[in-house]
Amino acid sequence: MRIISYEIDGKPSLGVLTGDATFVAAHELDAALPRTLDALLQQPDGLDRLRRLASGVEGNHRLDGVTLTLPLRQPHGFWALALNFKTHIQETGLTTSLEHPQIFLRVPASFVPPGAPLVAPPPDVARAFDYEGELGVVIGRGGRHIPIERALEHVAGYCAVNEGSVREFQRHNRQFGLGKNFEKSGSYGPWLMTADEFGNPAAHSLVTRLNGVERQKAPLDDMLFSVEAVIHYLSVGYALRPGDVIAMGTSGALPPAADDIAGNDLSLQVGDGPGKKIPGRVHMRAGDEVEVEITGLGVLRNPIVADVPAVYRPD
Amino acid sequence: MRIISYEIDGKPSLGVLTGDATFVAAHELDAALPRTLDALLQQPDGLDRLRRLASGVEGNHRLDGVTLTLPLRQPHGFWALALNFKTHIQETGLTTSLEHPQIFLRVPASFVPPGAPLVAPPPDVARAFDYEGELGVVIGRGGRHIPIERALEHVAGYCAVNEGSVREFQRHNRQFGLGKNFEKSGSYGPWLMTADEFGNPAAHSLVTRLNGVERQKAPLDDMLFSVEAVIHYLSVGYALRPGDVIAMGTSGALPPAADDIAGNDLSLQVGDGPGKKIPGRVHMRAGDEVEVEITGLGVLRNPIVADVPAVYRPD
């Protein structure tokens, strides 16, 4: 089941895709169903109920007729992994523990809905604004001390994540902090695909395209820490909650083709030095379009726009 | 003005202290006032309105007759600083940028209300569970690109923070991740003191006591990055929002007295090696009581209880 989150008449709504272009509205199936995925996942039988109600129903709305929102409205925690793909560890030359995952957090405001524009910082603030295509894991059933062999039972489903990062700020100090939390720098979606339909995450792969050119392409079994391992790890200290999201880390850059100027010209990259410039990495700039696609799941697509100039704006 | 957040009959409520033991209930002053600080701070004139309504009113409720909650219900971002006090940088021997603050995030579930028990991890999970007394800054007016000289205009008020940390997990990898986000490992409060009453943060000082013994004592002008500097820094990338909290970092341990066994016996500390053990640092254990006091503001006090054993607990 693929569940879209969207807004209609200013009200949050859920839909179930009945094909690649059509859906049924959850509130039309049963007006008593929660209207957000956050609330639906709070109900232990929420997904099953929606699945039963939507089963065999013809789609009566067009996907291109609505505006998608982020799958979740306010995850209690949006956890993200650093350096979890071997190709990304190699290209950065950074060390990371092989025993324990490297984890940080993102605030909701750092994400825009699928299809909505990512905002590139003004050039005088930062220029190394990078895509990071990732697998997003949405928790369905919470818990503490979840054993690895039970971990996937706690997953509601999966989505694609663009964990957009501002490299200059990420490198300001030891903790990533603001560099991973710029306003409107990332996205996730385009929808939630439930775990039963997605199947084994390690059997899938991920592609990131900038302006149609593949920039990342990775099997999801290249991870240092699997989905199961990370769920177990987090649950040792934190009670995972329905609606929590875990972004599983990004892969290395694809080697650029010989005639790929943007991918080969390292002078176009803003790094801390020659070692930090990676062939095939291309910063996102206003006017670009970025896509993160996970096999079978769908394409998360966002245009990039320029932020307004960096002048004082009190609210 | 000191604003308490509490619950009565299961409903969130706000109160204004009229002395050290009494308060008036905001909803009794005007039933139309928001019942949470999160909502009050969304109203540009919210604090002023409450101040006018409470002015000159006699307290008719006893502070010890209600159960305090966390000042904020769900800050959009709970930002925290690492290595911001010179004494703490010295004692850890860690390096940090002198140009840019070191920033990470905490989830709401990592905090318990003032007076409520902090939960010490089971000993087989972690034993280095440490207090971190800090100044908490609560944003009142949001904004982007806030100049340093205007930064304090964006502060609603201040509170004390115990940014409780699980050292073994904090050291698992480069990013602090879970080590700063254990379930119920920290607290903040006991209330919000508005900026006009608190005055210049750098003129205050902070004391942390474990079982009545002073373990941290620091003037708040020992910070590498001031409140103003951090507000400016964050606002370059992120639109600060009313109700955001910034915990300003913790100070070094007080040198223990000669007859202070707990403070002198380094074998009681769980460190990564001799260099990581710090005289005067004492881990929190079940049965302890911890206090963070900021001059003039009040005392944030929490008992410590043991977590239940580390066994699988699905929700």
Question: Touching check for B141 and chain A: CB below 8 Å?
Answer: yes
Residues B256 and B126 in one domain: yes
Residues 209-238 of B with CB under 8 A from A: 233-234, 236-238
Domain assignment of residue B64, yes or no: yes
Contacts for B45 with CB less than 8 Å, ≥ 6 apart: none
CB contact under 8 A, A173 and B96: yes
CA gap A179, A129 in Å, rounded: 9
pLDDT confidence tier of residue A93, bands split at 50, 70 and 90:
confident
Q: Identify each DSSP E strand in B181-222 by its residue range.
A: 186-194, 205-210, 213-219
Summarize pLDDT for A227-275 with one digit per residue, the tens: 999 999 999 999 999 999 999 999 999 999 999 999 999 999 987 655 6
For residues A134 and A94, membership in a common domain is answered with: yes
Rg from Cα positions in chain B: 19
| Closest CA–CA distance from residue B108 to any residue of chain A (Å) | 7
Q: Which of B244, B80, B256 is nearest to B170 (CA)?
A: B80
B126: number of Cβ within 10 Å:
24
Residue B32: inside a domain, yes or no? yes
How high is the pLDDT of residue A274? 55
* Least CB–CB distance from A104: residue in B100, B177, B313: B177
Domains in chain A, number: 2
Give chain A as a 3 state SS string: CEEEEEEECCEEEEEEECCCCEEEEHHHHCCCCCCCHHHHHHCCCHHHHHHHHHCCCCCCEEHHHCEECCCCCCCCCEEEEECCEHHHHHHHCCCCCCCCCEEEEECHHHEECCCCCEEECCCCCCCCEECCEEEEEEECCCEECCCHHHHHHHEEEEEEEECCEEHHHHCCCCCCHHHHCCCCCEEEEEEEEEHHHHCCHHHCEEEEEECCEEEEEEECCCECCCHHHHHHHHHHHCCECCCCEEECCCCCCCCCCCCCHHHHCHHHCCCCCHHHCCCCCCCCCCCCEEEEEECCCEEEEEEEEECCCCCCEEC
In this prediction, residues A136-143 reach a mean pLDDT of: 98
A124 touches chain B (CB under 8 A): no
User: What is the structure's pLDDT at B92?
Assistant: 87
Q: Is residue A311 in some structural domain?
A: no
Specify the DSSP class assigned to residue B6.
E
Same domain for B163 and B287, yes or no, is yes
Is residue B62 located within the same domain as residue B136? no
* Per-residue pLDDT tens over the stretch A284-308: 999 999 999 999 999 999 999 999 9
Q: Residue A55 has what pLDDT?
A: 97
Residue B178 confidence (pLDDT): 97
B221 and B96, same domain (yes or no): yes
Task: State residue A151's pLDDT score.
Answer: 98
Residues of A in contact with B175 (CB under 8 A): 82, 102-104, 175-176
DSSP 8-state code for residue B279: T
Domain with A97 in it: 78-306
The shortest CB-CB distance from A175 to any of B74, B82, B107 is to B82
- Give CA angle at A51 (A49, A52), nearest 5°: 65
Determine the Cα angle at B118 with ends B112 and B123, to 5°.
140
ipTM computed for the complex: 0.96
Q: Are residues B95 and B121 in the same domain?
A: yes
Is residue B73 included in any domain, yes or no? no
Which pLDDT band, with edges at 50, 70 and 90, does A276 fall under? confident
Residue A46 sits at the chain B interface (C-beta within 8 Å): no
Whether B181 and B288 share a structural domain: yes
Helix (H, G, I), strand (E, B) or coil at B138: strand
How does A49-87 read in b/e, with b if 16+ C-beta sit within 10 Å? bbbebbeeeebebebeebebbbbbeebbbbbbbbbbbeb
Q: What is the mean pLDDT of each run of 10 residues along chain B (315 residues)?
A: 95 97 98 98 97 97 97 96 92 91 98 98 96 98 98 98 96 94 98 97 97 97 96 98 98 94 92 75 97 97 97 96
The stretch A189-207 carries a mean pLDDT of 97
CA dist B84 and B158 (Å) reads 17
Q: Is B45 on the interface with A (CB under 8 A)?
A: no
Q: Cβ-count burial of B255 within 10 angstroms (0-12 exposed, 13-18 middle, 19+ buried)? A: exposed
Shared domain for B196 and B285, answered yes or no, is: yes
pLDDT attached to residue B93: 87
Residue-level pLDDT at A167 = 94
Of B150, B153, B182, the CB nearest to A237: B182
Query: pTM value?
Result: 0.97
Cβ <8 Å between B315 and A108:
no
Tell me which residues of chain A, numbers 100 to 119, contact chain B at a CB-CB cutoff of 8 Å: 100-110
The answer to the question of residue A312 being in a domain is no
